[in-house]
Structures are given as structure tokens and as C-alpha cells.
Structure 1
């Protein structure tokens, strides 16, 4: 499978003109009242998604309310920190309101256009958060999937709790892992992003921290007190954004009650399983991934279960998603959302989305979807190419912020990546304990660093007389 869509389009060239920047979205007649609650506590501004009966699933009404507040707070000297949370005990946000979109799509081209407009609105919101000029914190307390991940993943601080359930379940409904998944999934360690994207595997609680999805792990019982403490922080006018972020980071660390022990909750994507994930999901075609899973001998039971999982996913979704992840490694955060908008538009016109949502989310009990095409062999490269092009004469999705980057500027608040650990091991002839202590010191004794570095060293290095040697 080619790593670049065969059809190039001038709308995606770096020099291509953007369409005029859109106005800040405003509420429309008929938008639900009180589906988002806003609050000000000293210097803290909170956004609480308030549809608990629908697990706070995101819709256009909510996005239109959030936009003006974010823009207003960005200009305000009184607003120091932005906090995103969800009402109720169960979820931050279980995703976009895809059931409503599927019903809309059945109305034909006009309905499909309206659904596509929703994704444009959602992606503009996610991009605004990703490039925001003030500290943003997301409480991933409870179910955090799809659209909820978009509101969280691009924030500098993402708090997992014992109730966190993370997943990108889009391939189960004939869609693709959007909301910036093209950006953050390929940048996770090894092939974990590919694995999570194609299988929709869930990460619970502290696993979100170990995998790089969350930046911190706190018990849900401390969130209220921590919120109050954050509200009381005062930043002098001349303090830069990086320093503000450092102050917030140190303040949050004060509220940690520790991580679950590894005996209680061992790292899930670790050891031999993690090696098998990298081994099987490193390929650039879905067919090769299937073959690798069929040939897997060390983790045969896991490979068989994974094959069964993938075999009931939309073949189109699997192929588009894999292409998206391979291309997304090179996309900036801005290009990510512009590309994903076009991919989403194509899926709104594709039969698998309506069929997938109806089969998995609206049928009682859920049933197996009838995908079109039904097999991987029927999904050609040309069909996949079409998802990555803009119709001639159209321009890229205009965004509300000019900020852009190729790497998260706030990645230092997460646990060290495997690539960082590899670089250090290769350039320093040190033993295991020395390497661990070096990272623990660099990260100011951040919880999870010792466990993460120890796991990577155990899996990827050998001890020699000259120190640790990285194993390919």
C-alpha cells in the first residue's frame, strides 16, 4: 500500500490558499439549553459537558456554546486555567452523537452535508484546544471515547482516574479514529497506536497513563479539592506559558495518592505482548497485519482473539485507518484536522457509517453489521485514495487558530517515551539502575516514570560489561 495517496490535490499543498477564516460559531435557535455548564472560580474557568443521560456525548449545540467562551477567556487577564469535565459519575464524554448523525445521513445529500458540517465544527474546536494560549486541563474521569478524546488528548494536562475508560472505537461503526487521532496515535510508542486504532481496545484507569494517553493519574476523590487549589493560583503577567504550565504541573502533583501497585495492576501493553503488538502491527497493509497475526506463535491466543476482533470490523474502515496512521506521522496538527475533515466527509457518504451505527449502537441487542464492501480484497487502493482527496475547486477546512506544530509542545508532562529512553541508552554506557535514576530525576520523581522506564529496559535492552545495549 502506498504511503501517499496516489491522487495529489493542490488544496493540500503548503502554498495553497486557505479559505477566509470563519467567524466564531454562535448558538442557533433550537440548540439545547444547559447542555454545557460554565463556571468561574477565581482564575479558573470550567467547561462541564452536561448530558449525563447520554454519557455527555458531544453535539453541535455544545460545541457552539464552548467556542465563544474559549475565545473570550483567551483574551481575559482574569482567566488563568481552563478545565474540561463531564457531569455525572460515568463519563467525561463517550464520543460524538453518532446516532443523530446516522439518522441525519439517511435523509440524503443534505443530511450528509449537515453531518459533515458537525465534524468541521468539532475539529475546529479540537484544534482551538490544541493551540490554546493558556493551560487546559481535562478530567478523563469515566468513559472518554471518540469526541471526548478530541477534547482531551490535545490539552497539556490529561488526568486519568480509577474510573477512566479510554477507547477509539470508530472502526466498530464503519468510521475512522478522528478528532486528531491521525496525530496522536502514530506518535504513541511503537505500534500501540495502530493496535488501539484498528482493534478499538480499551485502556482502563492507570493504563491510560502508562500508554501515553494521560499525563497524570489521580484518584477521583481528590479532583474537587485540586480544582479549588488550581483556581487560587495567581500568575504574574510576565510569566510565560511554559512556566505557567510548570506551575500547574507541580500543583497537581501535590494531590497524588500514588499509583496502583504493579502487583495490583501490571502494565497492560508490556513485555511479550507489547513485542507481539509491534511485530504484528508494523506493516503498511491490513492484509500483512492479518498474515502476521495468523503466523504469531509466542502469543497465539492473543493473536487469535485479535484476528476475530478485526474480522468483524468494517474492511473500508480498517484500510482507511491504517493509511491515515501512516500518513499522519508527517502531518502537522493543522493538516491533521483538515485531512480528517475530508476523510469524515467521505465516510458520511459511505454506507458503512449508517450501517455500523445502527448495528452496534441502535439495534437491541447489537447485531453484526453488513459492511459494503464486505471483504478486504474488495477495498482497492483507489477506493482508499479517494478518502484523502478534496474535490476539485474546494479548499481546506478553515480553522480558528493559526497555531501549528509537528510535535506536542507539552509532551514533557507525559511519561518519557520509548524513543527518549532508546536515545539515552544508546548514547550513555550506563547500567539499568543508573538509567532509571536518571529519568526519575529528570521528571522530578513523577509517578509512573520508574515503572515505565523499567518495563522498556526489561523488554528492549541487555546488560553488558559496557552498560546496557539496546536490542533491535
Structure 2
């Protein structure tokens, strides 16, 4: 048999085996809940609603086995125009569950149909994986976002290695280590969400999305642009009683303290804070000392290396890291103590100081990907990949983008207003964008004697 034929046969066999493996993973189990996911179809709109309100809509294997086949089916269907995901939550389970969850999250992150996530309520753990990689992430006044994994002796997963290091400055590192919560409009201001609307408008927005009609020759970019315009139809202004939280002196303090590559240096920086941010630094120190010491160290390294991983690498490597946490006592202790015994966990080592005394580099085993058995490595559902999110024009502006606009003025320079106008126009004047750009310009630029903005490195 010719070499090419052999390779084709092997590729077919591999794909067929992967299909059988996935079919087995998605096979309903006796313990599955019947109505934990509600799926609806209306015109071109397909909606998935997580339906475990008594469990805070926490994602589990039963739900994944219902969601993933639908997404695969709709991606191939000419009848499905827009997919909306509603609900969010937390998750805990074994490695097999994490593998299935990460496959779903990667599939969503590379989905070839318009995908809209409603972050209306608690968005943590598994709910983050269902939403954070979507081109459209809509926050409301009821949204609560956090990455609480270090509180249970785990690490921020579901693709956090990709999206947290790519947040402005070291805000992602701060959120990962402390599990600090963002509420309402601040989920948008931080860049976690792409849009903000009031929760009372969500049903009308769903109806509007279902009314959209795409032409066969419309590109994905064209369809996403139409969806963006439709979402903005329901923008009723940012809430006046909820100002931007992470800004000004606090924002500068976060960068100042969380820019370091070691936990000891971060602790020292927080202890050195004075003035208006001293109280915040004191609270942050208390928080870090309550977290699993191992989780804090692993998470910090994750934040430093994850920014170089592609989206596919992210989920494969997070799966390997999760397998190491399954073997570490802090994960079992954290889950049992906080969710069962309802008391403070007893970490091993017991504290950041105890860990420092051992002189051990606790992170090394978690990032030794070479010793992960080939048969245990995560096999994703497609080979799609990227190193930066492909639809950043729908996100809030990054500091990097604004810096590039400032520097594009060359020696002559550009005024803050000129920079503001260009960045806001790129996003069609969307609500909230001006406030984000203004905060960054006030913090990261100075104005010379000619009125031109100069970037502060």
C-alpha cells in the first residue's frame, strides 16, 4: 500500500476512534439529571439555559453531556444563526470530568458560529469556561465574577491561563491569587465582559437576536458585527451608582504589587504599601494567607507562563496541571473543609511561611508536562488554535492598543482627545468605552507643554 494511502487510512482510523471515544464520553448516565439543561430553538436562535438554580447552576458532567452534542450539531446547521448561553456556576469533580469540561471549553473558544454568553448572576468556575472565551460576554447589574479556585486548593482553570494574563497590567494576576470579586458594571470595566445591559432587557435581546437574518455569503466577521449592533440597541447607559472600582491609585497599586514573579516579592510589596492603598494591601495580605500556599505559588507561575500559550496548549496543559492537583492533599482538604465541614481548611504546608521554610520549589511538578503519560493527554475535539483572541474589537480597549494609538502620533504626538476619538470610533461609540479609555489615559499618559499625550512606561 502506498505511503499516502497508509497515512490516510491511519488518519481515518484515528478520527473514527476519537469519534467513538467522544460518543462514549457523551453517553447518558443513569445518574444524569433530566432537566438540568433547557434547550430551545426559535427561528435562527439557539439557546442553552443551565437549570440547576438550587445548585447555583453549577456545571456538572450531566450538563456537559447535553451541551456539547448540541453545539456540534448547531455549528454544522444552516438553520442555527446565533447561540446564546445563559447561566453560570462552580464545579468540582474528578479528572475525567475536567477533561470533558476542557474539551467543551476549547470547542466554545474556537466555535465557528456566533456565540453570545449572558453573565447574568454568579459567574465562577465552570460558568467562566462557558462564557469567557465567547466573542460577546454580556454583564448585567446582577453579575458576580470571580476565580475562587485558590480557596479550595486548586488553580484557576477553564482557560484562565489564557485570558487572565492577557488582562490589562497585572489585574489578572491579582484576581487569580486573591479570588477578589467583580460586580455588575465592573465586570465590563475590567474587560471580563464585552457589553453591559440591564437584566430586564435580556429577554428582549434574545428575541432581537432571533430576528437577525444572515445572507449565505456573509462572513463570520459580518455576522458578529450585526450582533454587536443588535446588543447595543439595548444599551441604556452605565449605572451611575456603580463607579469603576479598579482604577487610579488602586489600579496602580495592583500593578506595583503583583508585577513580581515570586510570592515573597508580592508579599513584601504589599507590606510596603502606604497612604490611600495601605488598607487595601492589608486586606489583600490577609486574603493571601488564607489561600492554599501551594495553589498561590502554582497560580502565580501559571500567570507568568500562560500568556505565551496558545488556546489549544492552554487546555491541554491545564488538564495536566489538574491531574497533579488531584494527587495533592490541598484539593481534597479544600473541597471537604469549605463545602462539607464548613470550616477553615488545614493546608499542607500550613502557610506561606511554612512553605518558604522548606526551601522547596513547589511549582516544578505541576509544570513538568513531559512526565504526563501520552495516553492521558487531553485530545481536543478539533485542531483549531490561536495565540490571541480573534474578536478583540468587541472587547474593551486594552492598554496595549491605547499605547499604540498614542505612539502612532510620532514625534508630533497626539492629544488625549485625539486618542480617545480614534479608540471610541473603532468600537462605534459603544457605551462604557469612553470611561475605560479615559481611565487608562489619565493613569498612563502625561501631557507635554504642547498638549500632546506622552505614554508613561
Using CA pairs below 8 Å that are at least 6 residues apart, which structure has the higher relative contact order?
A: 1
Number of the residue aligned with 1:82 = 83
State the alpha-carbon separation in 1 of the partners of residues 166 and 372 from structure 2. Answer: 31
- Residue 402 (structure 1) shift: 1.4
Pairing 1:281–2:258 present:
yes
Query: Which SS does the other structure have where 1:415 is aligned?
Result: coil
- Residue 266 (structure 1) shift: 1.8
- Contact residue 373 and residue 379 of structure 1 kept, 8 A: no
393 and 126 in structure 1: CA distance in 2 versus 1, 3 angstrom threshold? closer
Number of the residue aligned with 1:32 = 33
- Contact residue 141 and residue 220 of structure 1 kept, 8 A: yes
After TM superposition, the score normalised by the length of structure 2 is 0.91
After TM superposition, the score normalised by the length of structure 1 is 0.88
1:335-374 matches, within 5 Å, as: 335-363=313-341, 366-374=342-350
Pairing 1:469–2:450 present:
no
1:156-235 matches, within 5 Å, as: 156-235=135-214
Give the superposed CA RMSD: 1.5
**Count of residues in correspondence between the two structures:** 429
- Contact residue 160 and residue 209 of structure 1 kept, 8 A: yes
- Residue 381 (structure 1) shift: 5.4
Query: Which SS does the other structure have where 2:308 is aligned?
Result: coil
- Residue 383 (structure 1) shift: 3.1
Number of the residue aligned with 1:417 = 398
Number of the residue aligned with 1:271 = 248
Query: Which SS does the other structure have where 2:295 is aligned?
Result: helix
- Residue 180 (structure 1) shift: 0.3
- Residue 292 (structure 1) shift: 0.7
- Contact residue 211 and residue 269 of structure 1 kept, 8 A: yes
More helix by share: 2
- Contact residue 393 and residue 426 of structure 2 kept, 8 A: no
Number of the residue aligned with 1:252 = 231
- Contact residue 297 and residue 362 of structure 2 kept, 8 A: no
Residues 338-390 of structure 1: per-residue CA shift (max 9 Å, x gap): 00001111111111111111222223xx3221001113315765431111234
Number of the residue aligned with 1:23 = 22
Query: Which SS does the other structure have where 1:212 is aligned?
Result: coil
- Residue 427 (structure 1) shift: 2.1
- Contact residue 199 and residue 309 of structure 1 kept, 8 A: yes
Q: Where does the alignment leave 5 or more consecutive residues of structure 2 unmatched?
A: 1-13
State the alpha-carbon separation in 1 of the partners of residues 265 and 340 from structure 2. Answer: 33
State the alpha-carbon separation in 2 of the partners of residues 266 and 221 from structure 1. Answer: 21
State the alpha-carbon separation in 2 of the partners of residues 249 and 392 from structure 1. Answer: 42
State the alpha-carbon separation in 2 of the partners of residues 230 and 343 from structure 1. Answer: 38
